[in-house]
Structure 1
């Protein structure tokens, strides 16, 4: 079918099939959402497909709707994208025309899919169709469960398990099944025993995910338990700080001792295990983290969810991501345990990984003293362990802070931003798949006043590890300060939702968003929640501009006094400083207005020839 065949009737027919599908049958909101955006696009009104109009026309919001305060459209769009993906993997696999909603917007896209000869549209009886491709795939049959009655609420599980198997075989979604090297999700055992080819060494702890068990006795849940195990491994391998054994290792060995017996001297520091059970229409997943050395239980939690056929894949993914964020992200369970184990060492005696842990502590609580300590530690680490990309990335970010925060400037380093960029580029060269390396690159480009290159680096880092809340917050900061509040503020808020221990200085950005929109009480509340130390000048700047606008002279004078204590020349270089941070000119005007009202004598900007504007 040629591209010219994508006509309005063809799109209408494709829309009707999706709206009538099982994937959307249980979501009235999803059907209204999809119908609205497709019909608007067909009517030539794609310019109206925005969060505001969708909220009013689909979700019955009124004219006061603010997409940054009410995320209903963004959340429902995510659910609709997943429903469409599920539909085209299953009952819509043979549809010749597909509807998609690209991330970053809501305007639908339509594309033709080549269908192999002889492929028919699926029906209710025949179950999911094979995925249409240029070459038809031969997929394994899932044998029926003989001699066993399946309770009605879970009849769909057998079909859903088949769908998952089709998805895995057809798309290669899981870490342990990928056949490309060198991939960060490659089986750790294979990496450890591979000959000659250079591999990245991992300095952090080693984690083994044991296969989750089926605690219900119902064989229809076997593939669900296996799928959760696979999802956990796939999410964990995105964190560069850990050595995560691949899924093949997890399923091959029944325990850590069995793994060590098969491969002597294999180190296992943590074991993650769990179970899956069913109760009526609910599935309960229990996960437990154990210290392998002394079998201490470090963490355990249960997740109970109502589940339907259309939500099974989402449920599996959501639970895996929630577990992984709790365990693996900054200030997570594993990092806190590792910090406790390394807490007795003097700075000069820290291992490479312990040095990185101390740096993460610095990122959570910026201070001049801690900056000096981690900079020295990282410089020693890169000398003694030059192949450690995360150490180079961390050193790049700490070096940039000499200019960004004014911490411990070194006469031997007159251009810390340029030096930081070179360090970040070295980290990326050592490990192109390291999220932290690209995050460091993003910070360096940001201070080099190249915001688009910075955003591209942060987007790459987020693609490498979408579960890292720090990357999410950094990307949100970039979008927000360049004036794209609608894209940036939800990212920062999501970062705090995922990780309440997120460095609180990101709240300055949210406070600035409220400030430029005249919500001074909300801005002040964000600054109170930030609770920044006295050494962070931007915190005092934010307080001064807010109190300047509200007329609180005493608090404004106090904030101005702190600014001048930290940098007596700040009024003269305030505007260049804001411009250096890529803050949108309109936002700078509002900030400067508040600071002047607070009593900070900021001179007007100058033209290129030295004249004042």
Structure 2
């Protein structure tokens, strides 16, 4: 039995059904199409998974078997280290979407590859009103293998069969209404203010508002040109283009058109002419030239709407034939990080375009931008704003995994930072874990979703599960400096300084705008090794706001050890201002953050010397040690 789509499963041929010959014909049309003509890998990939499904071997369609049978990998293939299947599946999905929007728009049967797996699904195009369909249908539509046929069913909408022309009209009216609401045409609507007595999960389940469900900008990488006239550089230019697309699509925040689209439509007008509804916000173009033993790659980012040049840079490298692939990869990764990471060129431009919008008017993507601003400028007021914004986003756009992941992390901050805590018995860490798991279920290959899961497990005091989640996130996007910093924090605080500190330092090297509170970890590393001047310098570079209690804790312990009584007293005063009960809670709080016991001993020693009256820890029987 083959999987079918959840979309309407009907046909304009009465009493027809999805048959193996029909699938074979659909496959042949796609393989011969312009959408896949330039991708031998894509054709081989699609042919393999469809034929396996028709042969009744859908359970074999895994990343491992695809890698060996389609991409000629050997038995040592590890999908966490080699993302070839995931990347090529993303390209194939986009190629299929483009095909059915253009030359395949009239095809009677469509092939799709749902996200989260590689097993193909098949659906027939909707019937016209009045088609002769069975009066009732229930259960999933069966589709034949090559061994037999199964009867048809009526299509479903909201779980009910559409088996009458009037029902088709009702469906059409409903879809139009949903589209109008989704586009935010009722801009005057305002949702009721969230009930503060409810936890994050309850608030996220409330009725949607009219927040715009825009999931970020779209970027088209134009084919890089050969600027030297040397025909041998044509392949280098094409390779740079492919490598840039591969590096950029690892970031989940915006749409990057696949390399096949780049080569088929080498300009935004050409793409819009082929697919008029396509939105392109940014263009990345460039050239490759060679002078002697050096190769120079120039890249430029342009705003598609008004053709403003937003960023440009050149990369000059000594090159040999054996290093050419590494050179291409390194340049592509450097460009992708500059453009796509947090506080990168694209995010800053999008934030500038959205800065005039009120919180309730932010699109889904703009809400994520505001959340990243909060992570760089931690404050209770901004926390409340972005939490409400994310809750509106998840209600309005429940299929947006990045919004669920961000909401998970912001919810956990109620416990981690003490910001805007809800009434008991709400548990923000447990709520955050459920939100993160929702994000992962929506997008198993999203690095951001696994990053949120890592934070949830960390605050649940399961550091090994947390580290595993962060490692998974880093494997999915090794170019994301935020994931690198989080993983470094985990290793460091559990006592593995040699593994953790280099990761945090590398994160700051890649992205100097990395949230500065990671410097508290580096400061603690210097502190426990008696390098108090270096620790204090890290805290000065952190430049944290007054509301981040851990920053004052770090300053207090450092000044306590150096004997600077005035600064120590000032830091202690700030700690007690933020939480008068902190001395009693200090050791449990450090333990809750999975800090190694030896590190806790050193921290507490400095705080006591600063004048913070931390009582000794209790034994199991309640006695003080």
The two structures share one fold, judged by TM-score above 0.5: yes
**What SS class does the counterpart of residue 204 from structure 1 fall into?**
coil
**Aligned partner of residue 370 in structure 1, secondary structure:** helix
Query: How many angstroms does 1:319 deviate by?
Result: 0.6
Alignment partner of 1:288: what SS?
A: strand
1:433 CA displacement: 1.1
Separation (CA, whole Å) in 2 of partners of 1:17 and 1:241: 33
Q: 1:513 to 1:142 in 2, by over 3 A?
A: farther
* Structure 1: runs of 5 or more not aligned: none
1:5 aligns to what SS in structure 2? Answer: coil
Name whichever of 369-378 and 172-181 sits farther off.
Answer: 172-181
Instruction: Give CA deviations for 1:287-318 in whole Å, capped at 9, x if unaligned.
Output: 00001111111110001111122321111111
Q: 1:151 to 1:467 in 2, by over 3 A?
A: farther
The 1-side partners of 2:224 and 2:154 are apart by: 21
SS in 1 for 2:171: helix
1:527–1:423: structure 2 CA closer, same or farther, 3 Å change rule?
same
Larger RCO: Structure 1 or Structure 2 (Cα < 8 Å, ≥ 6 residues apart)?
2
Contact 1:94 1:119 in 2 (8 A): no
Could you tell me the TM-score, scaled by structure 2's length?
A: 0.67
Structure 1 runs (4+) greater than 6 angstroms displaced: 1-202
Equivalent pair of 1:175/1:233 in contact (CA under 8 Å)? no
SS at match of 1:586: helix
- Deviation digits for residues 51-93 of structure 1, max 9, x if unmatched? 9999999999999999999999999999999999999999999
> Shift of residue 263 of structure 1?
1.1
Confirm or deny: 8 A CA contact 1:284 1:302 kept in the other structure: yes
Write the distance in 1 (CA, Å) between the matches of 2:327 and 2:476: 22
Name the stretch that deviates more: 324-333 or 101-110: 101-110
Contact 1:445 1:453 in 2 (8 A): yes
CA shift in 2, pair 1:215/1:125, >3 Å = farther
- Corresponding pairs, count: 613
| Closer, same or farther: CA 185–133 of 1 in aligned 2, 3 Å | farther
- Whether the 8 Å contact between 1:185 and 1:238 is mirrored in structure 2 is no
Mark the CA change 1:263 to 1:365 in structure 2 (over 3 Å): closer, same or farther.
same
Shift of 1:474: 0.4
Corresponding position: 1:460 with 2:472: yes
Residue 435 of structure 1: how far off its partner (Å): 1.0
After TM superposition, give the deviation of residue 410 of structure 1 in Å: 1.1
Q: How many angstroms does 1:434 deviate by?
A: 1.0
The range that moved more, 191-200 or 594-603, is 191-200
Query: Is the CA contact 1:97–1:111 (under 8 Å) kept in the aligned structure 2?
Result: yes
The separation in 1 between residues aligned to 2:301 and 2:221, in whole angstroms, is: 9
Aligned mates of 2:60, 2:315 — CA distance in 1: 40
Query: Partners in 1 of 2:136 and 2:120 — Cα distance?
Result: 27
SS at match of 1:299: strand
**CA contact under 8 A between 2:87 and 2:246: conserved in structure 1?**
no
Name whichever of 52-61 and 305-314 sits farther off. 52-61
CA positional deviation for 1:374: 0.3
**Residues 116, 136 of structure 1: 8 Å contact kept:** no
Cα shift readout 1:169-209 (whole Å, capped 9, x = no counterpart): 99999999999999999999999999999999971100000
1:244 aligns with 2:256: yes
Mark the CA change 1:141 to 1:119 in structure 2 (over 3 Å): closer, same or farther.
closer
Contact 1:282 1:306 in 2 (8 A): yes
1:549/1:396 CA distance change after superposition, 3 Å = same
**Does structure 1 retain, via aligned residues, the 8 Å contact 2:55–2:146?**
no
What is the DSSP-based 3-state SS (H/G/I as helix, E as strand, rest coil) of the residue aligned with 1:3? Answer: coil
Establish whether residue 420 from structure 1 lines up as the match of residue 432 from structure 2: yes
Say which is worse superposed, 31-40 or 456-465, in terms of deviation: 31-40
**Superimposed CA distance per residue, residues 525-564 of structure 1 (whole angstroms, 9 cap, x where no aligned partner):** 0000001110000000000110111111111111111111
Return 390-399 or 311-320, whichever deviates more: 311-320
Residues 187, 247 of structure 1: 8 Å contact kept: no
- Asked if 2 retains the 8 angstrom alpha-carbon contact of 1:399 and 1:417, the reply is yes
Contact 1:545 1:556 in 2 (8 A): yes
1:45/1:517 CA distance change after superposition, 3 Å:
farther
> Mean Cα displacement is larger for which, 265-274 or 189-198?
189-198
Task: Call closer, same or farther: CA 1:537–1:25 in 2, change over 3 Å.
Answer: farther
CA contact (8 A) 2:101 2:275 kept: no
Counterpart-to-counterpart distance in 2, 1:183 and 1:247: 46
Change in Cα spacing, 1:209 to 1:16, as seen in structure 2 (3 Å) is: closer
TM-score by length of 1: 0.68
SS in 1 for 2:559: helix
Residue in 1 that maps onto 2:409:
397
Shift of residue 356 of structure 1? 0.8
Q: Select 2:515's aligned residue among 484, 488, 503.
A: 503
Residues 176 and 246, structure 1, Cα contact 8 Å, conserved in 2: no
Q: Return 41-50 or 238-247, whichever deviates more.
A: 41-50
Distance 1:43 1:325, change over 3 A: same
Return closer, same or farther for 1:25/1:115 CA change in 2, 3 Å cut-off: farther
Of 517-526 and 192-201, the range deviating more from structure 2 = 192-201
Given candidates 539, 542, 545, the residue that maps to 2:557 is: 545
Residue of structure 1 aligned with 2:227, choices 215, 223, 226: 215
More displaced 10-residue stretch of structure 1: 177-186 or 530-539 = 177-186
The answer (yes or no) to whether the contact 1:390–1:436 under 8 Å persists in 2 is yes
How far, CA to CA, are the matches of 2:585 and 2:199 in structure 1? 52
Instruction: Provide the residue aligned with 1:201 in structure 2.
Output: 213
Superposed CA deviations along residues 210-229 of structure 1, whole A, max 9, x for unmatched, are 11001011111111111110
Provide the C-alpha distance between the structure 1 equivalents of 2:435 and 2:464, rounded to a whole number of angstroms: 20
Gaps of 5+ in 2: 1-12
Question: Structure 1's 509 and 539: CA in aligned 2 closer, same or farther, altered over 3 A?
Answer: same
Structure 1 residues 430 and 568 mapped into 2: Cα distance closer, same or farther (>3 Å)?
same
Measured after TM superposition, the shift of residue 261 of structure 1 is 0.7
Alpha carbons 2:141, 2:152 under 8 Å: kept: no
SS of match in other structure, 2:311:
strand
Per-residue deviation at 1:253? 1.1
Q: What secondary structure sits across from 1:303 in the alignment? A: strand
CA contact (8 A) 2:337 2:344 kept: yes
Q: Does the aligned pair in 2 maintain the 1:115–1:133 contact within 8 Å? A: no
SS at match of 2:534: helix
In 1, Cα distance between equivalents of 2:14 and 2:505: 44
Q: Superposed, which structure 2 residues align to 1:277-296 within 5 Å?
A: 277-296=289-308
| Pairwise CA distance, 1:18 | 44
Secondary structure of 1:99's aligned partner: strand
Match of 1:585 in 2: 597
RMSD: 16.8
Of 215-224 and 409-418, deviating more is 409-418
Give the distance between the partners of 1:142 and 1:219, measured in 2 at CA. Answer: 56
Cα distance in 1, alignment partners of residues 263 and 87 from structure 2 = 35
Any conservation in 1 of the 2:208–2:392 contact (CA below 8 Å)?
A: no
| Residue 36 (structure 1) aligns with | 48
Q: CA deviation at 1:259?
A: 0.7
Tell me the distance in 1 between the aligned counterparts of 2:423 and 2:36.
63
Q: Is the 8 A contact 1:175 1:234 kept in 2?
A: no
- Give, in angstroms, the shift of residue 412 of structure 1: 6.4
